[in-house]
């Protein structure tokens, strides 16, 4: 069996969010879980940000961050890891889209790939519309380009005002 150093790695970015329970602790838990995966290297994480809820606005504010990692897992397998971490943190998926949640992990970018698979679309299909994704992403990579969309900075500058504030 090859060692972790023998795998080819792809740079990926993960969006992290929480608005139920202790969001800071849940995001730390998720980062620790990602870092413990043998075929994932957690490289950096953004600061934490607080933002108003997106989609369904009548719910608590979110704590958000973005993590930069290298992974030798295919995108579908990396998504499975993210879903398992959400479940471990008490996430219950129901039919309410954009509702409150203990932990939300989104695969935002996977290298320069553009994927449309059942249950997975990369780049994340709404990331360019969300200031709470773009600001922490640009903190890590100020001039990042979103495949098939363009500059994250230009996307952010074109957004309607969204409350997103750096907290840590």
- pLDDT tens for residues 48-74? 999 988 767 778 899 999 999 999 999
For 151, the enclosing helix (H) or strand (E) is strand 150-151
Q: 116 - beta bridge partners? A: 121
Active site residue 70: no
C-beta contacts of 29-35 below 8 A and 24+ residues apart: 29/85, 29/88, 29/89, 29/103, 30/85, 30/86, 30/89, 30/103, 30/105, 31/67, 33/85, 33/88, 34/67, 34/69, 34/81, 34/85
pLDDT of residue 42: 96
Considering 106, 130, 153, 163, which one is annotated as catalytic? Answer: 106
Considering 8, 101, 130, 163, which one is annotated as catalytic? Answer: 101
How many domains are there within the chain? Answer: 1
Give the residues of the chain that fall short of pLDDT 70: 1-7, 55, 93-99
Considering 24, 39, 91, 153, which one is annotated as catalytic? Answer: 91
Closest CA to 12 of 116, 124, 149, 96: 124
**Cα 155 to Cα 119: distance, rounded to the nearest angstrom:** 24
Active site residue 91: yes
- Domain containing 51 — which CATH number? 3.30.70.560
Structural domain for 16, as ranges: 4-166
Active site residue 126: no
Active site residue 41: no
């Amino acid at each position: 069996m090859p060692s972790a150093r023998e795998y080819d790695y792809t740079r990926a970015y993960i969006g992290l969010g929480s608005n139920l329970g202790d969001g800071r602790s849940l995001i730390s838990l998720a980062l620790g879980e990602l870092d413990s995966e043998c075929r994932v290297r957690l490289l950096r994480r953004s600061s934490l940000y607080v933002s108003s809820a997106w989609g369904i606005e009548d719910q608590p504010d979110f704590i958000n961050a973005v993590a930069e990692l290298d992974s030798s897992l295919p995108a579908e397998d990396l998504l499975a890891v993210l879903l398992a971490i959400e479940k471990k943190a008490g996430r219950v998926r129901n039919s309410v889209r954009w509702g409150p949640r203990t932990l939300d992990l989104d695969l935002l970018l996977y290298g320069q790939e553009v994927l449309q698979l059942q249950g997975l679309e990369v780049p994340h299909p709404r990331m360019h519309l969300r200031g709470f994704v773009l600001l922490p992403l640009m903190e890590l990579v100020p001039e990042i380009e979103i495949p098939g969309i363009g500059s994250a900075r230009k996307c952010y500058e074109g957004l309607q005002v969204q409350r997103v504030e750096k907290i840590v």
